[in-house]
Structure 1
Amino acid sequence: MITASYASATTQKQPLSRLGRGAGMLTMLLMTTACTTSTDQQSVMDAVDHRDVVVDLVIDTTEHLDVDGWGANHGAAKPESCTLDNGDEGAAYKFSLWADRGTAHEADAQRIVEYWESLGMDTRVVDHGGFPVVYATGGPVQRASFTPDAAEESYRVGAISHCAPGDAIELRRAFDERRKQGERFPGDEYVPEENIDDVYKNE
């Protein structure tokens, strides 16, 4: 049974600096718009900025688990269409990493809960056939999940960014072309190099 008072002696890896840098960038941007509402503050960053935040969150989350071999089985971070609060169309990035299933499911789920709550996210744990699935909303991303019973007996950590200004179709087209020219972007390092020019194949 997972509880919020899970023993603090449990070994955890310290959060990496990637998300910290993203959070610092967000803080600086928000300081320049102190008179705006919280909804307006989220839109200060464009979709590509939020891509970096969601990728950092997923990678940093995997660092809290004693599991190796993480890969982007469904390709690199990808944008999808969403609706901004003002009714305009925007873009939100989603990203996930997969690895062979660990053995300490409840302890791993608790580590995720504690990490995500430290980022200001609201979490809940749902039993899924004996496996504790963690769902979270808010904080640096729109929502995230840790699934210890993903396909083919694997762990999966995934998240989707807040909706932000941007055109999902144009973003895909532009970054596909840039990848073909040899550029690489956050999260691409988890995609096999032979598949990098076809990063959306498995969606």
Structure 2
Amino acid sequence: MHKPDIRKSNPCPPCPKSATAFEKCIYWLGIGLGSGLPKKAPGTWGTMGGLIVALPMLCLGFWGFLIIAIIGCLVGSYICGKTSDLMNVHDDPHIVFDEWVGMWIALLPSVWLLTHTPNSDKAGLAYLHPSLLLLIVVPFVLFRFFDIIKPFPIKWVDNNVSGGFGILIDDVLAGIMAAAVGCLLFYSW
């Protein structure tokens, strides 16, 4: 008899009652401040949460946005690994901080275009123009595509790298692939 994948049918494993305040903060970051809580498609909802968090980050300009994405990469391995330990499940689908970081990486070409248009203001945020929606939707769709399909080397990394780094790195690679395709699309249009 086929045994269902309990990770897909169960809700998010709770943070243990014995967790310290610091561990509870890490847990909440790991589940994307709640954006990874839905039972269905937590990765997509988590990615949407990462996109929502990214919108005010646009005010930082390209270099500020890039620094936040790099910091996300540096602390993401710890956040994802610790959340996994607190859940007592490796790479639970409700851990979505990795989706946040991957989404931020996927947005980098868009942020560059938004902050380097002729009509950009002093704060680095481009004026609202009709293609703004495309500059946000295209990276989202590309990132989700690469994160779900997992072409090589993403699939290999997902299967062979463990711990917090393993949880994070496949989404970083999906973000890089989405950014590369986004560059090709944006600069050819």
Check whether TM > 0.5.
no
User: Which structure dedicates a bigger proportion of its chain to strand?
Assistant: 1
- Structure with greater helix percent: 2
TM-score, with length taken from structure 1: 0.29
